[in-house]
Structures are given as structure tokens and as C-alpha cells.
Amino acid sequence: MRVAFAGTPEFAAVALRAILAAGFPVPLVLTQPDRPAGRGQKPVMSPVKAVAQEHGIPVHQPEKLRDPATHAPLIEAAPDVLVVAAYGLILPSAVLGIPKHGCVNIHASLLPRWRGAAPIQRAIEAGDKETGITIMQMDAGLDTGPLLLAESVKIGADETAGSLHDKLASLGGRLIVEALRCFDTLTPTPQPAEGVTYAAKIDKAEGMIDWTRPAVEIERKMRAFDPFPGCSAQLHDTTLKLWRAELAPGQGAPGEILAVAPSGIVVACGDGALKLTELQKPGGRRLPAADFLRGFPLAAGERFSSPGNS
């Protein structure tokens, strides 16, 4: 199997490394163009491009794939299959038809649940007990193609998007190699019509905490948005990042600080309360509550603002 590969972030790079380690020839890698990053805003290559360069694999970085001229490198590479993982560009039907056996996607959910851009974060945010990796044959729809392989993983009670990402990236690498090795024996299975949900792209504005929501919901969102984009809360004129919390007893006006101790800051929610255990002030680092309070003292009675009580 000649395996062309399309992907961009570290999730995809893990899969590409696994495919290469398994000995599959990779004639071409597609990845997004280098993007400005860091304080200097210098162009930075994607993790997938870095892996390709380490192995001397030709790289193609079109802005879009609508222009037929951008398809030439893939046509010339003549792959048996194109493996796609978190590429970030839509593949037109013309591209889907170039590889001999079509295109196969590594998706970070148990399809048809959480089709779309942010399946890892949305699964945690929704309180799902498990998720997984699905290997599917791609069609023209959004994550709607037939299923080839799937395996589930449990979502831990303290799981963050970062920790779950790493589990699923590793599983994705293992499953895609398994799928490629037994490709001729796999039976594509249409996705069921029931249980379809969509994982919308994460908007940074979603990270602002609404304290009128239940404590359990806010705690899940904090884990779902760790490490990106993080959850924030406004206290007076300062925006603080809130990284870790645990459910706590207490009640009061939403956003009201009920208690302050080295172990954490208890804040009332719409239902229940949260003890904030890891916070970050502007320009600072993520800190345990005890260290944070030494540089940013808080007192019971102060109140974080919510959209309705600013």
C-alpha cells in the first residue's frame, strides 16, 4: 500500500509516525501552509510537516484544494490510499477519487456521535463516559462515510482535552496501521441514522464562564477547554484564567466567592459550588491556589461577573 497522508497538528503527526514505523511507503504528505506563531509571528511549520521533513517525504501545502491545479502532486504520487487526520481543509470529490482505494479518515470520536471539528472537547463538555477512534471511508459529507474500524476509550473523571487527545492520538496511530494492514478484508458499514451529534469548532468566547450554570457543567467545560482555549472569569477589572476545579458544597449568588483557603477558592454557581484549585493571572503562569493567592489575594464576598451580573 502506497499511503499518501494529509494532516496538520500533533494528533495527525502521531498517526504519520505510526504509518512510517509500520513500513508503509509514503510518497506525499499534504499539510496546511506554515502559519505565523509566537511573539515574533514567524512562520512555523506544522507538526506533520516536521515529521515529513525528518523522513525526506515531499510536502504539498495548498491554501485550498478547490483549484484542480493543486491536485497535481497527489495525482503524480499515485497513492493506493490517502489517510486523512485533522487536516483542516475540505477535500473536494475530485480529490477523494484520486487514490486507488479512496480516502480514509482517523476521527477522534465514536461516529456518528461528534461529527465535526472538536470531538474531543465536546465529548468531555457533554459529560460522555467514553469516546474513541473511528477509522472511516471518506465521502463528500462531513464525517458521514462508512465505518471501517472503531475502538473506545473511557473518559476519566479528571480527564482534560489535553490528556484525552494524547490517548486518542496514540490509539489513532495504532488503529490506522491495523486498518491498512488488513484493508482488503475490511467491510465498510454505513453509519447508523440514530445518535448523530455535531462537534462545533471551539470559539474562544465560549471560554468565558457563566456562573449561573450548574457547577458540574462549569467543571466539565474547564476540563474540556484545557489546554485550549482555557476558561476565563472576570473579577472587577481583571480577567483570570481558571484551569482546575472540583465540586464543593455551598450556595450563594452566582459568581460569589464563598470561601478562600490555600486548598482553593469556593465560588457559588447556579446550582452548587466549585472550588478553584488552579488559576492564572494576566501575564502569569498556571498556579495552584495557594501560590496564586500569595500574589493575588481574594476574599469571601467578592464576586466574579457573569453575562447577566456584570
* pLDDT (0 to 100) of residue 39: 81
**Lowest pLDDT segment from 34-48, 68-82, 122-136:** 34-48
DSSP per-residue string spanning the chain = --EEEEE-SHHHHHHHHHHHHTT-----EE-PPPEEETTTTEEE--HHHHHHHHTT--EE--S-S-SGGGGHHHHHH--SEEEEES--S---HHHHTSSTT-EEEEESSSTTTTEES-HHHHHHHTT-SEEEEEEEE--SSSS-SPEEEEEEEE--TT--HHHHHHHHHHHHHHHHHHHHHTGGG---BPPPSTT--EEPPPPGGGGB--TTSBHHHHHHHHHHTTTTT-EEEEETTEEEEEEEEEEE----STTBEEEEETTEEEEE-SBSEEEEEEEE-TTS--EEHHHHHHHS---TT-BEE-TTT-
Average pLDDT, stretch 90-110? Answer: 97
Q: What are phi and psi of 256, to 5 degrees?
A: -75, 135
The pLDDT score that the predictor gives to residue 309 is 53
Residue 306 pLDDT = 72
| Percent of the chain at pLDDT exceeding 70 | 99
Residue 216: predicted pLDDT? 98
- pLDDT for residue 254 is more than 90: yes
Alpha-carbon distance values, 105 to 109, 213, 277 (Å) = 12, 36, 38
The whole-angstrom separation of Cα 305 and Cα 212 is: 10
The Cα 130–Cα 121 span in angstroms is 12
In this prediction, residue 307 carries a pLDDT of 67
- Residue 40: predicted pLDDT: 86
Model confidence pLDDT, tens digit, residues 231-240: 999 999 999 9
Share of the chain above pLDDT 90, in %: 96
Say how far apart CA 160 and CA 225 lie, in whole Å: 8
Per-residue pLDDT tens digits for 168-226? 999 999 999 999 999 999 999 999 999 999 999 999 999 999 999 999 999 999 999 99
User: Looking at domain 204-305, what is its CATH homologous superfamily?
Assistant: Formyl transferase, C-terminal domain (3.10.25.10)
Averaged pLDDT for residues 157-172 = 98
Res 13 pLDDT > 70? yes
For the cut 80, the answer to whether the pLDDT of residue 227 exceeds it is: yes
Q: How does residue 50 score in pLDDT terms, banded at 50, 70 and 90? A: very high
Q: Is the pLDDT of residue 310 over 80?
A: no
Domain with CATH 3.40.50.170 in the chain: 3-199
Residues of the chain with CATH 3.10.25.10: 204-305
Mean pLDDT of 286-292: 98
At residue 275 the predicted structure's pLDDT band, cuts being 50, 70 and 90, is very high
> Topology of 3-199 in CATH?
Rossmann fold (3.40.50)
Q: Quick one: pLDDT at residue 38?
A: 82
- Which pTM does this prediction carry? 0.95
Between CA 67 and CA 233 the distance in angstroms is 44
Q: What is the pLDDT of residues 60-86, one digit of tens each?
A: 999 999 999 999 999 999 999 999 999
| pLDDT recorded at residue 68 | 95
Mean of all residue pLDDT scores within the chain: 96
Which whole number is the average pLDDT over 259-286?
97
CA distance 305 to 237: 10
